[in-house]
Structure 1
Amino acid sequence: FTLAVIPMLNHSGGMQMFNAEVTGITHDKLRPRISQTAKGLWFLYFLLTAILTLLLWIGPMDFFDSLCHAFSSISTGGYSTRDDSIGAWNSAYVKLVITIFMFLGGVNFGLMYKAMHGNLRCFWRNDVFKAYIRIILVFYIFFVIAIVGRGQVTDLSSFTLDPLFQIISTITSTGLTVNNFESWGTFVLALLFLLMFFGSCAGSTSGGAKIDRILFLLKNSGNEVYRCIHPNTMMSVRINDKVIAPDVVSKVIAFLCIYVMIIAAGGILLTAFNIPLVDAFFSSFSCVSNTGLGTGVTGYGESYAIIPASGKWVLSLLMLTGRLEIFTVLLLFTPGFWRK
């Protein structure tokens, strides 16, 4: 928004801010000027919000609830106007529509912008988007197996739409819920840990480490293992058929290391406030990834109200750091950023 309305940032400083916001990985300019790119993305954002509002209004929601949940879903914020969240409507239509738009909120907005202008092939040529789809499908299979294995099948939606909703809600860091997912077992809880860590695509509205970075890490790790056997081999990390510069790969690995250290530090601090170990680390993980899910003492019915005030300060700092993606915070405190 700042880049779109303040022309003075359309120089190197604006490009630095743009690169930082899209995680320093996916920073292709869609238009010649950064301000035009920002305005194009804002138009797409408002368009998706308007469409979702209308679709929810057609269903069982009134206009106010529809508008609030449209804001909440596209931004992957996760707030609801009801204590029972989406479950208050008990509507498969509402779950399905919000699932689709949460999924879109987790897609790189640059890809959707290109698709909106006729380049539909960009989705299937993008390694990150394909990985996003595969992760959702694989985890969906695991979720269904766990739900059926624990005898939690109550109706068709309980093992079809509900797990898909929860997977997409978690990987996009939205945090909306339709059921008490803790009843699905500890295996599902472990899978949610992974989903919160992954996040969705860079350039989306979601939190988490982002799938882009995970791909960088996996491909670079594979290269290093191969070099152990063939030490003289020259290999590079390739994403979307492009060779990634070594300094970008180093930045990604540094980010992931700092990301994990912040989660660990937050979990350790929370245990000092008499929060159980698993719950402390889950809460730290949930806040850094901006998901907002809780389990145990912060789970269904209790939420984070049970955390003492000092613990809330810690969680607030973790949420802020996770939302600003760490390097953005460091960038703002760098004198060179403010020089023209």
Structure 2
Amino acid sequence: ITHEKLRPRISQTAKGLWGVYGMLSLILCVLLWIGPLNFFDSICHAFSTMSTGGFSTRNNSIAYWDSNYVKIITTIFMFLGGVNFSLLYKICHGEGLKSLFRNDTFRAYLKIVSLTFVAFVIAIVANGQAHTVADVTIDPLFQIITTITSTGLTASNFESWGPFVLALLFLLMFFGACAGSTSGGAKIDRMLYLLKNTSNELYRSIHPNAIRSVRINSMIMSPETVNRVIAFLCIYVIIVAAGGIMLTAFGLPIVDSFFSVFSCVSNVGLGAGVTGYSGYGFEVLPDIAKWVLSVFMLIGRLELFTVLILFTPAFWSK
């Protein structure tokens, strides 16, 4: 849904984006090395953070170091990993922050993070989990960013914040961050397509002869693109529903089943309940459940159509 050509040749565009990615990874590695991490851990977590992969060299992930410095630095770079790299490229080449804040998707990204942060803080206070300043500042922001960017690093037991937080995490895992970033999920761009198209359809219900189009970043999107996005989101929901039902058949609680499928399809990696922070992780799942989730992770990473098209007769007839 985003194929922005930054340079005359696609190879030049690719090299430019790789340059931005490599520069951010190097800066993050140095910043982590300055802190409590050794050089090996710094390299591993720099690669894991910028790729929003979420792998850690420690069983407790970021929580192992119990360092607010590490959480803050990691949060900043996870956030950058969720931004369209084309925008970061433009900033690095002198276009300034104005181009960033003129982008509809980035503005939506900021709004989602800000509103969710307020909701998290209210939930944490309401559940009596606000013991330190970090409990209502660094920890919820870290959890929001690590979820929406599909990184999946953990620094606290978010399950103790209440079921409302879990419900919000479902939404964050579903939509993910910006298209053109390293994050998973359905992407905020598609959410904007859906919301604007829905608004247009509601308007046409009142004014049947009105002609309205979906505009993203002042550009009119073609009806074919809008239809493809809506189809993508419908298939996404169907796959999550099917996966959740399949896991319940293997004996998992219903909330844990759907959370695990959401997490895998969106490539987040967070667990809840038996697979969560206070549980034993995904290793407790039956082998057949691991196979199912592995397939869902592959489908989610390749963004549905790439995999599902293999099961259409028209693909093989050619």
Tell me if both proteins adopt one fold, taking TM over 0.5 as the criterion. Answer: yes
Q: 1:331 deviation in Å?
A: 6.2
Q: 1:241 deviation in Å?
A: 0.8
Q: 1:335 deviation in Å?
A: 11
Structure 1 residue 304 and structure 2 residue 282: aligned?
A: yes
In the alignment, structure 2 segments of 5+ residues that lack a partner are none
Structure 1 residue 198 and structure 2 residue 183: aligned?
A: no
Residue in 2 that maps onto 1:16: none
Query: Which of 33, 36, 40 is residue 16 of structure 2 equivalent to?
Result: 40
Tell me the distance in 2 between the aligned counterparts of 1:33 and 1:251.
Answer: 27
Query: Which of 308, 311, 315 is residue 293 of structure 2 equivalent to?
Result: 315
Q: CA RMSD in A?
A: 1.5
Using the size of structure 2 for normalisation, the TM-score is 0.96
Query: Which of 306, 309, 316 is residue 328 of structure 1 equivalent to?
Result: 306
Tell me the distance in 2 between the aligned counterparts of 1:279 and 1:78.
Answer: 20
Q: Which amino acid aligns with 1:72?
A: S
1:123 alignment partner, SS class? helix
Structure 1 residue 138 and structure 2 residue 115: aligned?
A: yes
Residue in 1 that maps onto 2:65: 89
Q: Deviations over 1:2-44 (max 9, x none)?
A: xxxxxxxxxxxxxxxxxxxxxxx21111111212111111111
Tell me the distance in 2 between the aligned counterparts of 1:241 and 1:332.
Answer: 35
Q: Deviations over 1:181-205 (max 9, x none)?
A: 0000000000000100110000000
Q: 1:328 deviation in Å?
A: 2.7
Residue in 1 that maps onto 2:227: 250
Q: Which amino acid aligns with 1:146?
A: A
Percent identity over paired residues? 67
Structure 1 residue 165 and structure 2 residue 150: aligned?
A: no
Q: 1:330 deviation in Å?
A: 4.8
CA shift in 2, pair 1:232/1:107, >3 Å: same
Query: Which of 25, 33, 43 is residue 49 of structure 1 equivalent to?
Result: 25
Tell me the distance in 2 between the aligned counterparts of 1:334 and 1:257.
Answer: 17
Q: Which amino acid aligns with 1:303?
A: G
Within-5 A mapping of 1:60-79: 60-79=36-55
Residue in 1 that maps onto 2:165: 188
Q: Deviations over 1:137-185 (max 9, x none)?
A: 0000000000011110121111100000000000000011111100000
1:178 alignment partner, SS class? coil
Residue in 2 that maps onto 1:6: none
Tell me the distance in 2 between the aligned counterparts of 1:306 and 1:51.
Answer: 37
Q: Which amino acid aligns with 1:31?
A: R
Aligned length: 313
Tell me the distance in 1 between the aligned counterparts of 2:65 and 2:284.
Answer: 27
Residue in 1 that maps onto 2:256: 279
Q: Which amino acid aligns with 1:323?
A: R
Q: 1:265 deviation in Å?
A: 1.0
1:26 alignment partner, SS class? coil
Residue in 2 that maps onto 1:228: 205
